[in-house]
């Protein structure tokens, strides 16, 4: 894929007008737009339709985490919306992940099912928070790789993981396994509320499949130029 097709821009906004403006401005520079909890809870499936109406592809970032039957129903609904990709929490367990994969495949029938990703450890969490607040005994890297291997065994297309874990996931899960990486910050940019971050070049060099970028593009004074700068760094890492 071209570098720009591997770039996903996060529509972390609350109104359809804001989302449409970003899609209009950036649709020729990115491969997908991520619709998360704020925009979807504000406007529901209409947010997905708004991106589709402008020719954009959607990564539905709602992180499903519930009993297998409920998540299977959500997977069918996401498939009917025509999203290209959606995610769920690996912490929901193997049965939940398998139920989602089977439901999406059945709903798609002869069409193309969405790519399903397992969210591993949120990029906003560091080792202390994971140990003291979440209660995970394993170190972050070990936990992420464990969940990635489990997701692959359950038939999922890939995982969402921070730049810090890409290389080890790639080693354990192989080249065909997708790694979608948030927490991307150009060199010198603020980390905001993220902890386990990396630059676009670092993430691609480690083996990332797609990069998710939000505020470094959407909050930039010149959004198109910010996107072009990131694409240039991605292209440089591929040479």
Q: Which residues of 18-40 are buried (b: 16+ CB within 10 A; e: fewer)?
A: ebbebbeebeebbbbbbbbeebb
Mean local confidence (pLDDT), 78-89? 98
CB 89 within 8 A of CB 57: no
Q: So what CATH class is 3-238?
A: alpha beta
| Higher pLDDT, residue 114 or 161 | 114
What residues act catalytically?
Answer: 63
pLDDT in tens, 187-202: 655 545 444 467 898 8
User: Of 38-42, 48-52, 186-190, 209-213, which range is least confident?
Assistant: 186-190
pLDDT on residue 127: 64
Domain ranges of the chain: 3-238
Distances (CA, A) of 159 to 142, 163, 173, 176: 14, 12, 10, 12
pLDDT in tens, 14-40: 999 999 999 999 999 999 999 999 999
Rounded to an integer, what distance in angstroms lies between the CA atom of residue 58 and that of residue 155?
Answer: 21
User: Of 22-26, 63-67, 140-144, which range is least confident?
Assistant: 140-144
Instruction: Tell me what percent of the residues of the chain surpass a pLDDT of 70.
Output: 88
Banded model confidence at residue 133, pLDDT cuts 50, 70, 90: low
Banded model confidence at residue 186, pLDDT cuts 50, 70, 90: confident
pTM: 0.90
| Higher pLDDT, residue 136 or 81 | 81
């Amino acid at each position: 894929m071209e570098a720009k097709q591997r770039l996903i821009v996060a529509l972390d906004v609350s109104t359809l007008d804001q989302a449409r403006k970003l899609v209009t401005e950036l649709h020729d520079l990115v491969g997908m737009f991520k619709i998360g909890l704020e925009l979807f809870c504000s406007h529901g499936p209409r947010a997905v339709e708004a991106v589709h109406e402008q020719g954009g592809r959607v990564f539905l970032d709602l992180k499903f985490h519930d009993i297998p039957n409920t998540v299977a129903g959500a997977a069918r609904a996401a498939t009917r919306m025509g999203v290209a990709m959606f995610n769920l929490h690996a912490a929901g367990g193997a049965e939940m992940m398998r139920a989602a994969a089977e439901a999406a495949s059945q709903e798609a029938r002869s069409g193309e099912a969405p790519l399903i990703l397992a969210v591993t450890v949120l990029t906003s969490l560091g080792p202390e928070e994971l140990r003291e607040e979440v209660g995970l005994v394993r170190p972050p890297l070990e936990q992420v790789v464990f969940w990635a291997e489990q997701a692959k065994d359950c038939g999922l297309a890939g995982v969402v993981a921070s730049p810090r874990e890409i290389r080890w996931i790639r080693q354990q899960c192989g080249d065909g396994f997708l790694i979608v990486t948030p927490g991307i910050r150009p060199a010198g940019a603020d980390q905001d509320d993220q902890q386990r971050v990396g630059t676009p070049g670092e993430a691609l060099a480690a083996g990332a499949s797609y990069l998710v970028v939000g505020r470094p593009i959407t909050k930039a004074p010149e959004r198109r130029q910010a996107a072009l700068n990131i694409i240039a760094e991605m292209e440089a890492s591929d040479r």
